[in-house]
Amino acid sequence: MNARTENPVALVTGAARRVGATIARTLHAAGHDVALHCRQSRAELDRLITELEAMRAGSTLALQADLTDSAQLPQLIEQTIARFGRLDALVNNAAAFHSTPFGSITAEQCDRLFAINARAPLLLSQAAAGSLRVSRGVIVNIVDIYAQHPLPDHGAYCMSKAALAMATLALAQELAPDVRVNGVAPGDVLWPERPVGDETMASLTARTALKRQGSPADIAGAVLWLLRDAPFVTGQILRVDGGRGLAI
């Protein structure tokens, strides 16, 4: 066990790449020590760890786990506490995203989407609650604008993110007044690795009030604000979508 760090400590799931990696870099630059989780992207995570360690030695911890295996979830919290001696923030960023056209939806698809997108954040929050109460910490869940508005052929995904939105509200109630719990609902900030039907970047931009795509930095900035600069905000889901929700 290392000596207790004086820096705030954040655990970020799905942190090896894309939005998760940007959240990790942003929190680290703001002075957090970071425990960074991945499932399969270990090479990317190791490169990120090397990058951050070059900036501040002893400030990171690499964690690898399958979030569908509930037995592994408490271990992520335990390893973080063992390494840093404290936990101040949990950012539930990891997500599964794929289409489930109605008429061909399987139980296995539903189970995986709900396990990663809803069950894992809930159980991780439960495992972290004791430490977060001590630090008067914060949980931020990365939700989705489609938790409120269905995306065609993605019903099971939208349902899982709607469950995460409700978990955000329930946890804010359960953990008050010691722990604040909020969500960030991204809009179009990064082109999907699996493009959605005939969606194009132009069509998404046309339906966004600010007429441009956002960036992972927009999401990371919102997460940092909720962690550091919003002490009287809990039970809220902040849409970071450039006004996309106005046109859905």
- Length of the chain, in residues: 248
97, 114, 146, 157: the catalytic one is 157
Instruction: Tell me the residue ranges of DSSP E strands in the chain.
Output: 9-12, 33-38, 60-64, 89-92, 138-142, 180-186, 237-240
Q: Rounded to an integer, what distance in angstroms lies between the CA atom of residue 16 and that of residue 53?
A: 14
Coil vs helix vs strand at 34: strand
Evaluate the omega torsion of the peptide bond into residue 177 and state whether it is cis, within 30 degrees of 0.
yes
Which residue do the tokens 């997108």 mark?
117
Q: Rounded to an integer, what distance in angstroms lies between the CA atom of residue 171 and that of residue 234?
A: 10
Distances (CA, A) of 77 to 36, 85, 122, 143, 202: 11, 11, 13, 21, 41
Half-sphere exposure at residue 25, Cβ-oriented, CA atoms within 13 angstroms: 17
- 146 in catalytic set: no
The one-letter amino acid code at 228 reads R
Q: Which residues are catalytic?
A: 157
